[in-house]
Structure 1
Amino acid sequence: MSNFTTLPNNPSLSGCARLIRDVCFSKAGGGLYLDLLLPWGAEQEGNNQLYPAVVFLQGSGWTFPDRDYELPQLARLAQRGFVVATITHRNYHDGYPMPAFLADAKTAIRFLKHQAAAYHIDKERISFWGTSSGGNTSLLVALTQDNPEYHTDEYAEENDQVCCSVACFPPTDLLTLLYQRKGEEDNIVALEKAVGDVSDEAARALLEAMSPLRLSAAGQQAGVPILLAHGDADELVPYEQSALMFEQLQANGEEVSLVKVTDAPHEGDFWSQEMYRLIFDFLEQHT
C-alpha cells in the first residue's frame, strides 16, 4: 500500500519551540543561569506578538536545582505559546543560606522583565511554578511581591510581581516540618543547614519568614490565583502541608485550588498527563 499526503505549510511555526541554553540572569554567587524555551515563531522577523512567560524552579532542598529535570514537559508549554525559563539559585552548601534562594528567584523575574523585548515577553503575564522547595519558593514569590527585603540591586527598575503561582508538593510550614522530622537526619539536614550559622532564635525567625503558611496566617496576601498539588502518600513533605495552606488561603479570601493525587509520593508517579494538563490549563487561564 502507498499513500500520498499534502499538508499546508506553517509560516507562523505554531506548535513548535526552541531552546536557548545558559542565559546568565544574575552575577550572584559567581553567576546564575537559566535555560529559556520560546515559541519557535517568536523570533521571526516582523513578529510583534508578546507571549506569557512561566518561571519554573525544580525542587532541590534549597541546594542547586536541576534545570533539565522537567525540560521535556516544559517544552510542551512553549509549544502552546509560552516563554518558559527554568532557573536555578544559590546553594546553601556554598555559603548562601536562606533567603538567598528567594532573592535569586525574584532576580530571575526582574531579568525577564528587563529583557522582555528581546524575548517577546508580556511583562504583565509572568507566572511562577515550582516543585518541592521550588513550590515553597513559588508561594513565597506570590506572598512577598516587591518586598524590599528580598530585592537585590540587579534590574532594580523592574518589579518582581507575578500573575499566578503553582506549587507542587511544597513545604509550607518549615518549623512544623523540622519538628516532625527530628531524628530523621536525611530529611532535616536541609532545613537545619539552609538557615546558616545563626542563633536558635534567628533560625526560628528565618524559618517562619520562609514558611508561606505562617505568612498567610499572619495576614499576608498573595492577591493572585494559586494552584496547590500534592500526593497524599508523600513521606518527605506530608500532604497536610498543602491541605493546611489551602485552608488558610481560603480563610484569607484568596483564589486558590488544591489537587490531591491519591497514593502519590514526592515526585515519581505524582506526575501524569492529567496533572500536566491541569497545570497548563491553569497557567493559560491566569496569564
Structure 2
Amino acid sequence: MHRDIVYASPTAGGEQRDLRLDLQIPRTKGPKPLVVYITGGGFMTANKAGNLDERTYVAEQGYAVASIEYRTTTTGSTYKDGVADVKSAIRYLRAHSAELGIDTAKVAVWGQSAGGYLAAMAGATSGTDRFEQGDNLDQSSDVQAVVDQFGVHDLAKVADDFDPETKATYMAPGSFINAYVFGPNSARTVVTDHAANRAANPATYLNRSSAPVALLHGDNDHIISPSQSLILLDALTRKRVEGTRYVVKGADHGDLPFLPDPEAGRKWTTQKVMGTITRFLDRELRS
C-alpha cells in the first residue's frame, strides 16, 4: 500500500488543496493493470479510505487499485471539478506508471454512488478533451472500462422512484444534487434548467470512444432511484456503447460511509457481486 500520494493540487474554496490517493499493488512480478476507485459520499465527502475490503478483493485478483480523493460541495466545488479530478488522477498514474509498477495501457474506473456518477462521466468523455485541467496534460485520461455501482446519471430524475416529499427534497434549490451542479447558494435546479442538467448527464457525452460500462444497482435502493441505471443503459444502447445492467435483488444503497447501516453493504460484498465486477475487469483489461 502506498498511502497519501499527492496527485493534484487544484483550487477549492479559494485555496489550493492537495488531492491524494492510496494505491494497492499485489506483490507479484510485472506491472499490474490499473483500476481507479472513486468513493461515494453524496457529493459532500470523498473519503479515499472507504470500502477497503472491496478494494482489497479486487487488488487480490491481480490489479493495482488506486482510491482517490476529489473535490466536493464542502468546498463549493461542482461536478466539473470532480470529473476533472478523476481525469487528473488517471493522467498522474499514467505519468508515473513505470516507477509505481502499474500497467496503464488499459485503465478502468470503478465508482459507487457519487463515485459511480463520476466514473460514468469519465468513461463517457473518453476520446474528448472535456474536463481536462491541471498537470500531466501530455498523458491521456481515457479509460477502457467503467464499473458503476448505484450511481446517479440523469440528475433531474434521481428521485423519480420515490414518494413526492422525498422527490421535492432532492430537487429543491441548494439540495446536494443542485449544489453539485450549480455551486452553493444558487436558486437554480436541474428540473428547471434543462441545459445544465444535460451538461451534467454522462449520456450527453457518449461517443464511439466511450468505455464499456457494467452497471450494478439494488432494486431496494432508498437513496438513488434504481431506474437511474436503466436510464443510462438505454442511453448506452442508443449510442451503441457496450453496457450491461445487473440488478441485485433486495439490495439497498451500498455506500456504507454515506449510509450508516451495516446491513446495507452485505449484498454488495458477496462473491457473486464482486466476481461479476472482476470478471468484467478481466474481460476489458486483460483480453
Q: Given the alignment of the two structures, is residue 27 of structure 1 paired with residue 9 of structure 2, yes or no?
A: yes
RMSD of aligned C-alpha atoms?
2.2
**Structure 1 residues 231, 178: CA separation in 2 closer, same or farther (over 3 Å shift)?**
closer
Count of residue correspondences: 260
**Structure 1 residues 281, 175: CA separation in 2 closer, same or farther (over 3 Å shift)?**
same
**Structure 1 residues 178, 154: CA separation in 2 closer, same or farther (over 3 Å shift)?**
farther
| Cross-structure match for 2:241 | 254
Q: Distance in 2 between matches of 1:224 and 1:241?
A: 18
**Structure 1 residues 209, 221: CA separation in 2 closer, same or farther (over 3 Å shift)?**
farther
> Is the CA contact (8 Å cut-off) linking 2:34 and 2:107 kept in structure 1?
yes
Taking every aligned residue pair, what percent have the same amino acid on both sides?
A: 24
**Structure 1 residues 93, 179: CA separation in 2 closer, same or farther (over 3 Å shift)?**
farther
SS in 2 for 1:61: coil
Deviates more, 1:197-206 or 1:265-274: 197-206
> Is the CA contact (8 Å cut-off) linking 1:143 and 1:221 kept in structure 2?
no
Letter in 1 for 2:217: H
Structure 1 residue 55: Cα displacement: 0.1
Structure 1 residue 201: Cα displacement: 8.1
Q: Distance in 1 between matches of 2:104 and 2:77?
A: 29
SS in 2 for 1:63: coil
Q: Given the alignment of the two structures, is residue 191 of structure 1 paired with residue 213 of structure 2, yes or no?
A: no
Structure 1 residue 165: Cα displacement: 0.5
Correspondence list, 1:207-222, <5 A: 207-216=197-206, 220-222=207-209
Structure 1 residue 229: Cα displacement: 0.5
Q: Given the alignment of the two structures, is residue 157 of structure 1 paired with residue 145 of structure 2, yes or no?
A: no
If asked which structure has higher relative contact order (CA below 8 Å, sep 6+), I would say 2
Letter in 2 for 1:276: M
Q: Distance in 2 between matches of 1:192 and 1:62?
A: 10
Task: Report the TM-score, using the length of structure 1 for normalisation.
Answer: 0.83
1:59 to 34, 40, 63: 40
| Cross-structure match for 2:158 | 177
Letter in 2 for 1:213: A
2:100 to 102, 108, 119: 119
Letter in 2 for 1:231: G
| Cross-structure match for 2:279 | 281
Q: Distance in 2 between matches of 1:155 and 1:211?
A: 26
Structure 1 residue 147: Cα displacement: 3.3
Structure 1 residue 73: Cα displacement: 1.9
SS in 2 for 1:41: coil
Correspondence list, 1:114-153, <5 A: 114-153=95-134
Deviates more, 1:138-147 or 1:122-131: 138-147
Structure 1 residue 97: Cα displacement: 2.2
> Is the CA contact (8 Å cut-off) linking 2:116 and 2:150 kept in structure 1?
yes
Structure 1 residue 179: Cα displacement: 7.1
> Is the CA contact (8 Å cut-off) linking 2:19 and 2:69 kept in structure 1?
yes
Q: Distance in 2 between matches of 1:263 and 1:214?
A: 31
> Is the CA contact (8 Å cut-off) linking 2:94 and 2:139 kept in structure 1?
yes
**Structure 1 residues 152, 231: CA separation in 2 closer, same or farther (over 3 Å shift)?**
same
Q: Distance in 2 between matches of 1:103 and 1:264?
A: 31
Letter in 1 for 2:198: E
SS in 2 for 1:170: coil
Q: Distance in 1 between matches of 2:79 and 2:240?
A: 29
SS in 1 for 2:62: coil
| 1:246-272 C-alpha deviation (Å, 9 max, x unpaired) | 122123222111101111111124412
Q: Distance in 2 between matches of 1:180 and 1:81?
A: 38
| Cross-structure match for 2:261 | none
Structure 1 residue 69: Cα displacement: 1.8
Letter in 2 for 1:26: A
SS in 2 for 1:25: strand
Task: Report the TM-score, using the length of structure 2 for normalisation.
Answer: 0.83
Q: Distance in 2 between matches of 1:239 and 1:201?
A: 21
